[in-house]
Amino acid sequence: MWRVIDREKFSKTIEKLFAYPIVITAAYVFDTYVLGLSVGETNGSVPGLWSFTNLTFVMIVFLDFKSFLRNMGKATGNELYYIVEAILKKKAKFFKP
């Protein structure tokens, strides 16, 4: 059965909807205009530069993947999702939302 939308979770979703593009755009502007990097440019065998933009994308994907695991664990009741989330939490203690 469908439940009522939780206002707190909905507001966090709206915050992410606006915050993520702003943060990524700011990182891109910093890389391009302050550091003079061409984000996504390949350099021979190196697949690309590690810039603030790339690091920002990695952090956002990591945090949302942890959120996905938590939500799937609640939705399905499967302990595997919680185990994978706990392993990620141990491996990357510096990512604290």
Give pLDDT, residue 26. Answer: 93
Question: The whole model's pTM is what?
Answer: 0.66
Question: Could you give the 3-state DSSP secondary structure of residue 46?
Answer: strand
pLDDT digits (tens, 9 = 90+) for 11-35: 888 888 899 999 999 988 988 888 8
Give pLDDT, residue 2. Answer: 54
| Tokens coding 74 | 């609640």
- Higher confidence at residue 52 or residue 4? 52
pLDDT band with cut points at 50, 70 and 90 for residue 93? low
| Cα-to-chain-centroid distance, residue 97 | 10
Using only C-alpha atoms, the chain has a radius of gyration, in whole angstroms, of 17
Nearest to 89 by CA among 60, 55, 62: 62
Report domain extents, the chain: 7-91
| Tokens coding 68 | 């996905």
| Cα-to-chain-centroid distance, residue 43 | 26
